Amino acid sequence: MGSKLALIISFAFVLLALAFSGDLIAIQVIHSELDAIALSVSHQISFHGMLTDSIRDFAEKDGKTHIVPISEAAMVGEAFEYKLWRYYEPLFVSEERMEISIRRSAVVGYY
């Protein structure tokens, strides 16, 4: 009887561990996707010199990712900073919606 109860309780702990690891994996996947988008966006910003509508459309094509410029349009050789972010609804890590964001910069004219 005691071993059956221990088995049932251990399944609860295993499920919680799976939910936690699932959240960590999902957060890492979202961060990697944002990093890949930021790499392409940085190259395009360095070529065009500013955040154009086509670059914004490219970054926000999935409808979940948002891009916000931190600095104004820069001259050649200056850095242009921006932030990419996306919301995530975690299973176990938090009760509230999480904002996963990355902040990157691109040197204008260096491509």
Domain ranges across the chain = 2-107
Question: In what helix (H) or strand (E) does residue 71 lie, and over which residues does it extend?
Answer: none
pLDDT tens for the chain, 111 residues long, are 668 888 888 898 899 899 899 999 999 999 999 999 999 999 999 998 888 899 999 999 888 899 988 877 778 888 889 999 999 999 888 889 999 999 999 998 876
pTM passes above 0.85: no
Q: Provide CB contacts within 8 A for 25, sequence distance 6+.
A: none
